[in-house]
């Protein structure tokens, strides 16, 4: 803009739901293409940040259903194994910690809360999550970011990210050692 005002990126439009003959969401065939990642200048997936619902009743049938659908959908779109994580979260097993870190950062840019713990990516879950709303949002951002990681991020960049992570952890370790009181 000529007046120097910052332009606001609108959230991406939602793809229509597709269903299998058995009535379940057809996550593996939902998208033909993805928008540019928000961290690469594209629009975020959501307008408002989607947060994990904590505390949550993990014994609730509604929560168990949400977690089961997230696990099924994440596996279909990413090829990664997902399991129930800490309350309010689904844990996605990544190949390396750097992959989990990168995916978490990219997913946050899409306005969905995420974090990493080692090689696990944690994405939100909640009793009130609806199939065509929050469940689809979480599965979409996992699909979008894992697609980018797997198909578009060069191996050299992944290797560099791994070295950056190692150096950051080494720096933290050294800093912690230097702060210790002498025995």
Domain of residue 71, CATH code: 3.90.1150.10
d(CA 155, CA 141): 21
Tens of pLDDT, residue by residue over 61-106, are: 999 999 999 999 999 999 999 999 999 999 999 999 999 999 999 9
Q: Please count the structural domains in the chain.
A: 1
| Residue 74 belongs to some domain of the structure | yes
What tokens does 23 get? 């009535």
| Residue 17 belongs to some domain of the structure | no
Over its C-alpha atoms, the chain yields an Rg (Å, rounded) of: 18
| Residue 167 belongs to some domain of the structure | yes
| Residue 106 belongs to some domain of the structure | yes
Q: What's the confidence (pLDDT) of residue 6?
A: 39
| Residue 158 belongs to some domain of the structure | yes
Print the domain residue range for 131.
34-178
| Residue 4 belongs to some domain of the structure | no
d(CA 171, CA 65): 42
| Residue 15 belongs to some domain of the structure | no
Q: What's the confidence (pLDDT) of residue 13?
A: 58
Q: What's the confidence (pLDDT) of residue 4?
A: 40
Q: Which residues pair with 90 in a beta bridge?
A: 84, 123
Question: Which residue numbers in the chain have pLDDT < 70?
Answer: 1-14, 33-34, 152, 154, 158, 162, 181-183
Q: What's the confidence (pLDDT) of residue 173?
A: 82
How far is the CA of 92 from the CAs of 3, 52, 54, in angstroms?
Answer: 44, 15, 18
Q: What's the confidence (pLDDT) of residue 33?
A: 65
| Residue 28 belongs to some domain of the structure | no
SS3 124: strand
Q: What's the confidence (pLDDT) of residue 146?
A: 92
Q: What's the confidence (pLDDT) of residue 7?
A: 39
180: how many CB neighbours lie within 10 A of its CB? 7
């Amino acid at each position: 803009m000529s007046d120097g005002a910052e332009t606001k990126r609108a959230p991406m439009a939602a793809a229509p739901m597709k269903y299998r003959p058995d009535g379940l969401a057809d996550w593996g065939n939902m998208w033909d293409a993805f928008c540019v990642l928000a961290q690469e200048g594209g629009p975020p997936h959501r307008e408002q940040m989607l947060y994990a619902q904590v505390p949550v009743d993990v014994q609730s049938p509604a929560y168990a259903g949400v977690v089961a659908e997230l696990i099924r959908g994440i596996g279909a779109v990413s090829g990664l194994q997902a399991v129930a994580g800490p309350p309010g979260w689904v844990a996605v097993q990544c190949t390396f910690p750097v992959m989990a870190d990168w995916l978490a950062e990219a997913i946050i840019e899409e306005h969905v809360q995420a974090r990493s713990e080692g090689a696990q990516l944690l994405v939100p879950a909640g009793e009130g999550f609806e199939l065509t709303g929050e469940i689809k949002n979480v599965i979409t951002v996992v699909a979008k970011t894992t697609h980018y990681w797997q198909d578009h991020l060069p191996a050299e960049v992944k290797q560099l990210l791994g070295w950056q992570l190692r150096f950051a952890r080494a720096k933290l370790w050294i800093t912690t050692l230097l702060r210790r009181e002498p025995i």
